[in-house]
Amino acid sequence: MTAPPAFKTLIVGVNAATHVGTLALNRPSKSNAIDGDMWREVPEAMRWLDENEHVRCVLLTGEGKNFCAGIDVSTPESLSSQLGQSNAMKGACAGRKAEALYRHIRRLQDSFTSVERCRVPVICAIQGACFGGGVDLVTACDVRFSTRDARFCVKEVDLAITADIGTLQRLPTIVGHGVATELALTAREISGEEAERVGLVTRAFADAGELSRGASAAAIAVAAKSPLAVQGTKAAMLHARDHSVNEGLEHVAVMNSARLTSEDLTEAMSAKFQRRKPIFAKL
């Protein structure tokens, strides 16, 4: 198995025995605030994990006390960079500045959409602060866990910004339109316990240790199942979110007409009757 690439802002790895890939945000001294390097590296890391034949599930975490404090606004230079205000566009006409800003926003959107685009499920474990861009990132994941004292906030309105990286598009399908609207308009901070109540996270654990063990166990359990079935389930769920019931039924029928003849089904049934764990081939 080839070694993962070296990143400035991320730690990436693979456990070949459990088939779980790991991606950790690694700017703990900055509460994993998202800078230009992280925007560029997240899709590179997701692409590498997606293409790794040993990876059947990805566990996304954040190093240190906080999962992600949002975009890095620690300096005026960093803020300008995040907002796409480059020196190269000084003196350009308003139309060209707008076109450059549009392309900048679309690049940032694509960075976190890479998590959703990954064929295998992505489970995230959230501790401490998950603000602004951190919410954009976790709403692109398939399953979310947190500690009870984690803190979530759709922060953008407090910065005079309309959130534009994915929260306003993905959060309503997770917690419902009304709850998502209230959180986005007020920038109200909620705890992991409330996040569990409204459905933002599947489960809120007592502390970081329990969170780590629980999220890891879930990732290992998913990775132990048929890779084709797991990938198909993720694809079908995302398709159903964005389409009508009839369109979703057609999509899964076409997909399963090809996949129900796989060796995974034969192996799963054989293992069940032989009372052993199934062994699935690489993707």
| Numbers of helices and strands, H then E, in the chain | 11, 9
Total count of domains within the chain: 2
Using alpha carbons, select from 219, 159, 171 the residue that is nearest to residue 195. 171
Would you place residue 87 in the very low, low, confident or very high pLDDT band (cuts 50, 70, 90)? Answer: low
Distance, CA of 44 to CA of 42 (rounded, Å): 5
Q: What is the pLDDT of residues 175-234, one digit of tens each?
A: 999 999 999 999 999 999 999 999 999 999 999 999 999 999 999 999 999 999 999 999
Q: Note whether 41 and 54 are within 8 A (CB).
A: no
Q: Is residue 47 part of a domain?
A: yes
pTM of the model: 0.91
For 201-248, strand residue ranges (E) read 203-205
In a domain, 2, yes or no: no
Amino acid in the structure at residue 201: V
50 is annotated as an active-site residue: no
Decide if 207 is catalytic. Answer: no
Provide the CATH number for the domain around residue 27: 3.90.226.10
Domain residues for 36?
Answer: 10-74+110-223
Query: Which of 205, 223, 241 is a domain's end point?
Result: 223
pLDDT at 201: 98
Give the DSSP H or E segment for 171: helix 167-175
Same domain as 266, residue 157: no
How far is CA 59 from each of CA 30, 119, 211, 239, 251, rounded to the nearest angstrom? 21, 14, 12, 22, 27
Among the listed residues 136, 142, 194, 196, the single catalytic one is 136
pLDDT for 5 equals 86
Do residues 237 and 164 share a domain?
A: no
Residue ending a domain, among 182, 201, 223, is: 223
> Under 8 Å CB-to-CB from 209, ≥6 apart: which residues?
none
Residues 135 and 198 in one domain: yes
Q: Are residues 150 and 252 in the same domain?
A: no
pLDDT digits (tens, 9 = 90+) for 117-129: 999 999 999 999 9
- Position with higher pLDDT, 40 vs 77: 40
- Res 260: pLDDT: 78
119-157 tens-digit pLDDT: 999 999 999 999 999 999 999 999 999 999 999 999 999
Residue 152 shares a structural domain with residue 33: yes
- The mean pLDDT of 152-178, rounded to a whole number, is 95
Query: Which of these is catalytic: 70, 128, 133, 232?
Result: 133
Instruction: Say yes or no: 165 and 64 in one domain.
Output: yes
Alpha carbon of residue 161 to chain centroid: 22
Catalytic site residue from 71, 123, 126, 165: 71
Catalytic residue status for 164: yes
- Which residues fall within 8 angstroms of residue 102, CB to CB, at 6 or more apart? none
Active site residue 220: no
**Which residues are bridge partners to 203 per DSSP?**
145
**Cα distance between residue 150 and residue 189, in whole Å:** 10
Residues 125, 257, single domain; the answer is no
Q: Does residue 231 share a domain with residue 219?
A: no
Same domain, 169 and 196: yes
Same domain, 58 and 150: yes
Same structural domain, 149 and 58: yes
Distance between CA atoms of 135 and 147, rounded to whole angstroms?
15
Catalytic annotation, pick one of 41, 72, 142, 156: 156
* Catalytic status, residue 210: no
DSSP per residue, 57-123: EEEEEESSS-SB-SB--SSHHHHHHHTT--GGGTT--HHHHHHHHHHHHHHHHHHHHHHHHSSS-EE
Residue 153 class from Cβ within 10 Å (0-12 exposed, 13-18 middle, 19+ buried)? buried
| Selected catalytic residue, list 37, 44, 110, 164 | 164
Please check whether residues 208 and 241 belong to one and the same domain.
no
